[in-house]
């Protein structure tokens, strides 16, 4: 390639943590034009920089418009190139397979955004995008729509999702999949080079652990590709993700290159994006979305909530007939958060100023609430919800039934495993105003790794607002031992010819080997493996510390392997584990070992207070062993026997004070908590204190009935800073008293 360029560097300096880099380019006719620009961001509250790669002929043909690829750089890089060696995305960098050369030969605009995230009082900072850990209030995903709007107004873009893509390297690859999943209504395709698969992200005050493998439902209507090298230090995490994504995403592909951590196959990746522009995926008829932010917009639906603790808001099967909504502490099966209040405002897709019947059905309790809501003068509906599981049906008075899957259960095994006949029972719910008559359903495989043995079942009549189980079970067999999740398609029919389609994603576990060498940690200090290759001394579990599983205890199972104790991630379908939907999980971060951002998870199951003496509980267990740069995932089965009685007091998870002087305390216990109280002491005058009783009855200021969040609205007392002591007692008389470490504010 005849590449001629004169580069005049005016000034390079470090000043107040910002690298000033002013350039003037002179390019010949065969090159892309490269321009460094900036604009003021209202979202981030500061001037933000970006680099533009314009194709040949952009300035000659003033009528032509172009698709856009947004590119996100990696660690130690900026929009103008690498901080370490100042290598930019042009010339012979990456063997000539780079952004500038691609833009010179294709009709596309490429925008390279700046991920600079300097913290206050720091001279310079190599980690971009404010992830792992979240250290500033900058939220780069929230900035993306603003940047898109700015670029569409400044350059001749084809300003629609069909001609807009995201790509990026490493940390920028992580951002590529995160942003494309957050805004599927803004982009049609995404290309990830060697991206990390997990980081801590989200609001500064309550971030979460975000794993791409858990977020696969976000990508309906988005074409996805991953490029990574066979010598990439992140490759083990890519392999973990691929075991999930290839099974549940039809529009995902990946390619492994003879390369390390780099933009391997850049031209191939960008060609993939360009082909998506030619034949962009349509918006799905039904879509799903998971978001870490308390408020967000997706596909013109607006979601707002009062959540101020870490969590995920989940929308499923959204269309004009309704949706499913929940808020969880973590994915995929974290504890529900019914104390969260949220609202969903639909797009203007309904008749204006008309009443609709909103069926609100809880699939766990089968409780139904019917409300009549009037659309606004635009045709929008605003539906008020909480953070529990809610199936919402949106109905006119003459609408047909509205059937969907309420839940499923494996009847003949503890969990789904390989090479065995699995009997699957399905419960359907009807959130429509009319009954479904002569209802039947057919189960189909979406991959060749499974055989369907019994494909059909009958439900007969399902009344409005009711849930019904199939008259007989479906059955299947997983044929391939390496499969870790299986997606099934369930098609539901009624006698009027109505048809509904739902998907069931079933995790696959193993029934052997039996792990015999393990320890039950129930309130004692142990030396355990940590951070990949380290060992720490840590207090684990809550109980009497005798190494036995007693009712009411919270335990950690330590698998002994290669002379170390490894904390395990556990799954069980046993009814005496995690009563009332409790689900506790912690993380052992491996960043200091493999520099990726991932973490090994471990469970803290709670044994039900009414578990019988001698009851045997089976857990599917998983833990990680180091094998740098990889990790070896060990799996097996642990069996424990419950002994003794409940002598363990309730445990406090958190305390919050809402703006309207409602104090909330979240507890967990193996059985019912019969009372909770709080003592508040004025910080400036310890002699001034008062006691209040907290409730979990949905009344007197309590947010939600029986959600283990005990609340009370406090009458106005004037502004004051208070220390708080919380007390709770269970039905066995076990009492907990704990000082909350943070100062709270009352007014």
Tell me the pLDDT band of 154, cut-offs 50, 70 and 90. very high
Tell me the pLDDT band of 8, cut-offs 50, 70 and 90. very low
Is the confidence at residue 729, as pLDDT, over 50? yes
- Written as six digits, the tokens of 257 are 């290159």
Please compute the mean of the pLDDT values over residues 501-526 and round it to a whole number. Answer: 97
Return the pLDDT at 720.
Answer: 86
Weakest mean pLDDT among 8-22, 48-62, 257-271, 369-383: 8-22
Please compute the mean of the pLDDT values over residues 330-359 and round it to a whole number. Answer: 96
Please compute the mean of the pLDDT values over residues 183-211 and round it to a whole number. Answer: 97
What is the spatial distance between Cα 734 and Cα 553, in angstroms, rounded to a whole number?
12
Which superfamily is assigned to 403-507 in CATH?
Answer: Immunoglobulins (2.60.40.10)
Among residues 573, 581, 588, which one has the least CA distance to residue 624?
A: 588
CA dihedral 531, 535, 537, 541 (to 10 degrees): 60
Weakest mean pLDDT among 87-91, 128-132, 264-268: 87-91
What is the spatial distance between Cα 97 and Cα 80, in angstroms, rounded to a whole number?
17
pLDDT in tens, 448-489: 999 999 999 999 999 999 999 999 999 999 999 989 999 999
What is the spatial distance between Cα 124 and Cα 126, in angstroms, rounded to a whole number?
7
pTM of structure: 0.93
Among residues 264, 266, 260, which one has the least CA distance to residue 98?
A: 266
- For the chain, give the mean pLDDT: 93
Please compute the mean of the pLDDT values over residues 231-252 and round it to a whole number. Answer: 97
By 3-state DSSP, what share of the chain in percent is helix, strand and coil, each rounded to 5? 10, 45, 45
pLDDT in tens, 399-414: 999 999 999 999 999 9
Decide the pairing of beta strands 651-657 and 662-668. Answer: antiparallel
Whether the ω angle into residue 378 lies within 30 degrees of 0, i.e. cis, is no
pLDDT in tens, 262-279: 999 999 999 999 999 999
Among residues 414, 505, 430, which one has the least CA distance to residue 465?
A: 430
Return the pLDDT at 26.
Answer: 34
Return the pLDDT at 94.
Answer: 87
Tell me the pLDDT band of 3, cut-offs 50, 70 and 90. very low
Contacts of residue 50, Cβ cutoff 8 Å, sequence gap at least 6: 36, 37, 38, 39, 79, 111, 112, 113, 114, 147
Is the domain 31-278 a CATH 3.40.30.10 member?
no
Return the pLDDT at 16.
Answer: 33
Return the pLDDT at 28.
Answer: 38
The H-or-E segment that residue 272 falls in is helix 266-278
Q: Give ∠ CA 507-511-516 in degrees, rounded to 5.
A: 125
Decide the pairing of beta strands 223-229 and 252-257. Answer: parallel
Whether the ω angle into residue 133 lies within 30 degrees of 0, i.e. cis, is yes
pLDDT in tens, 93-110: 888 999 999 999 999 999
Do residues 342 and 360 lie in contact, with contact meaning Cβ atoms separated by under 8 Å? no
What is the spatial distance between Cα 175 and Cα 142, in angstroms, rounded to a whole number?
12
What is the spatial distance between Cα 224 and Cα 190, in angstroms, rounded to a whole number?
5
Higher pLDDT, 15 or 213: 213
CA distances from 149 to 63, 146, 693 (A): 19, 5, 51
Return the pLDDT at 5.
Answer: 35
What is the spatial distance between Cα 67 and Cα 53, in angstroms, rounded to a whole number?
12
Do residues 652 and 738 lie in contact, with contact meaning Cβ atoms separated by under 8 Å? yes
Topology annotation, domain 651-746: Immunoglobulin-like (2.60.40)
**What is the percent of the chain where pLDDT is above 90?**
86
Is the confidence at residue 17, as pLDDT, over 70? no
Do residues 599 and 592 lie in contact, with contact meaning Cβ atoms separated by under 8 Å? no
Is the confidence at residue 21, as pLDDT, over 70? no
Please compute the mean of the pLDDT values over residues 52-74 and round it to a whole number. Answer: 95
């Amino acid at each position: 390639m005849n590449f001629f360029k004169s580069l005049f560097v005016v000034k390079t300096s470090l000043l107040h943590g910002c690298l000033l880099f002013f350039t003037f380019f002179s390019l010949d006719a065969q090159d892309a034009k490269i321009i460094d620009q900036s604009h003021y961001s209202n979202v981030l509250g500061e001037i933000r920089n970006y680099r533009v790669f314009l194709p040949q002929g952009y300035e000659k043909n003033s009528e032509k418009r172009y698709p856009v690829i947004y590119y996100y750089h990696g660690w130690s890089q900026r929009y103008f190139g690498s901080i370490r060696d100042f290598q930019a995305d042009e010339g012979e960098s990456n063997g000539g397979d780079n952004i500038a050369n691609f833009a010179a030969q294709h009709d596309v605009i490429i925008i390279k955004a700046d991920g600079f995230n300097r913290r206050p009082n720091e001279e310079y900072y190599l980690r971009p995008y404010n992830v792992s850990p979240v250290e500033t209030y900058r939220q780069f995903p929230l900035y993306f729509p603003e940047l898109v709007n700015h670029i569409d107004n400044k350059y001749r873009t084809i300003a629609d999702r069909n001609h807009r893509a995201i790509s990026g390297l490493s940390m920028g690859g992580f951002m590529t999949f995160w942003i494309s999943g957050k805004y599927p209504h803004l982009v049609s395709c995404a290309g990830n080079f060697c991206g990390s698969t997990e980081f801590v992200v989200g609001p500064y005050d309550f971030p979460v652990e975000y794993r791409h493998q858990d977020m696969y439902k976000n990508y309906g209507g988005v074409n996805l590709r991953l490029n990574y090298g066979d010598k990439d230090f992140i490759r083990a995490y890519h392999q973990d993700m691929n075991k999930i994504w290839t099974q549940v995403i039809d529009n995902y592909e990946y390619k492994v290159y003879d390369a390390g951590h780099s933009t391997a196959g850049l031209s191939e990746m960008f060609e993939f994006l360009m082909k998506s522009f030619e034949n962009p995926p349509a918006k799905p008829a039904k879509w799903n979305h998971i978001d870490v932010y308390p408020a967000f917009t997706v596909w013109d639906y607006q979601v707002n909530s009062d959540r101020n603790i870490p969590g995920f808001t989940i929308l499923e099967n959204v269309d004009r007939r309704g949706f499913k909504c929940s808020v969880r502490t973590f994915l995929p099966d974290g504890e529900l958060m019914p104390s969260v209040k949220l609202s969903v405002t639909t797009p203007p897709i309904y008749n204006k100023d008309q009443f609709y019947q909103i069926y609100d059905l809880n699939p766990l309790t089968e409780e139904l609430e019917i409300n009549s809501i009037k659309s606004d003068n635009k045709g929008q509906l605003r539906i008020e919800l909480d953070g529990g599981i809610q199936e919402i049906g949106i109905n006119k008075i003459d609408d047909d039934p509205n059937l969907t899957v309420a839940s499923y259960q494996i009847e003949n095994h503890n969990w789904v495993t390989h090479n065995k006949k699995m009997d699957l029972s399905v419960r359907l719910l009807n959130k429509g105003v009319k009954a479904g008559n002569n209802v039947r359903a057919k189960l189909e495989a979406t991959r060749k790794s499974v055989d369907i043995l019994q494909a059909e079942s009958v439900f007969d009549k399902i009344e409005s607002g009711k849930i019904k189980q199939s008259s007989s079970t479906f059955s299947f067999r997983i044929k391939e031992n390496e499969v870790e999740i299986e997606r099934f398609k369930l098609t539901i029919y009624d006698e009027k010819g109505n048809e509904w389609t739902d998907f069931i994603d079933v995790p696959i576990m193993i029934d052997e080997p039996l792990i015999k060498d393990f320890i039950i940690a129930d309130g004692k200090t142990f030396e355990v493996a940590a951070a990949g290759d380290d060992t720490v001394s840590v207090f684990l579990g809550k109980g009497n510390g005798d190494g036995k599983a007693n009712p009411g205890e919270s335990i950690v199972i330590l698998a002994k392997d290669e002379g170390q104790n490894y904390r395990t991630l556990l799954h069980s379908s046993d009814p005496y584990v995690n009563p009332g939907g409790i689900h506790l999980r912690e993380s052992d971060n491996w960043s200091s070992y493999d520099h990726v951002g991932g973490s090994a998870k471990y469970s803290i199951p709670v044994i039900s207070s009414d578990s019988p003496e001698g009851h045997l509980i089976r857990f599917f267990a998983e833990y990680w062993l180091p094998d740098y740069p990889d990790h070896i995932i060990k799996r097996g089965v642990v069996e424990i026997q419950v002994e003794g009685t409940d002598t363990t007091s309730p445990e406090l998870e958190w305390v919050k004070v809402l703006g309207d002087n409602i104090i909330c305390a979240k507890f967990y216990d193996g059985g019912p908590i019969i009372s909770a109280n709080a003592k508040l002491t004025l910080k400036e005058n310890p002699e001034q204190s008062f006691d209040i009783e907290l409730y979990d009855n949905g009344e007197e200021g309590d947010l939600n009935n029986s959600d283990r969040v005990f609340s009370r609205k406090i009458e106005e007392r004037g502004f004051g800073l208070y220390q708080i002591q919380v007390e709770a007692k269970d039905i066995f008389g076990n009492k907990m008293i704990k000082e909350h470490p943070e100062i709270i504010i009352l007014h």
